[in-house]
Amino acid sequence: MADALTLEFDDIEHDVLTGIYSEETGRPQPLRISIAVDYKVADRYDPDTPLEASKNYMDLKFAATEALPEGLHFKLIESLADHICETLFLQDEQVLAVTVKIVKLAIAEKNEKIGITLRRERR
């Protein structure tokens, strides 16, 4: 089995303009976003290994929050997930794959988790 490194940032809650129905458009919806990034593995991680040998976890949060264009409405949460993937690929060429899970909080009843998971590999 090959070495692997996955960085994760789970359960980021953020309001995003998304949806296709009239009651969804024009106002942000609360989403819960989780991101996993497959990253190029260093040969070794010693105690003094610099951050450059990995990725700052806050970059994952940035891709799901501040990197979203203000005022842009994503009809599908799939397109939002795709935007997050592309942001992470553009940030760092050592990102090999990105998995984004999005849960729509506004439509959940009884703690259901309704949403999507999108995985993209670097092309």
Domain boundaries, the chain: 5-121
Examine the pLDDT at 2 and tell me if it is beyond 80.
Answer: yes
* Interval 45-80: pLDDT, tens: 999 999 988 999 999 999 999 999 999 999 999 999
CA 10 to CA 34: how far, in whole Å? 4
- Is residue 85 predicted with pLDDT exceeding 90? yes
The alpha carbons of the chain give a radius of gyration, in whole angstroms, of: 16
Examine the pLDDT at 12 and tell me if it is beyond 90.
yes
- Between CA 44 and CA 51, with CA 50 as vertex, the angle to 5 degrees is 105
What pLDDT was estimated at residue 67? Answer: 96
pLDDT bracket for residue 84 (50, 70, 90): very high
What fold, for 5-121? Answer: GTP Cyclohydrolase I, domain 2 (3.30.1130)
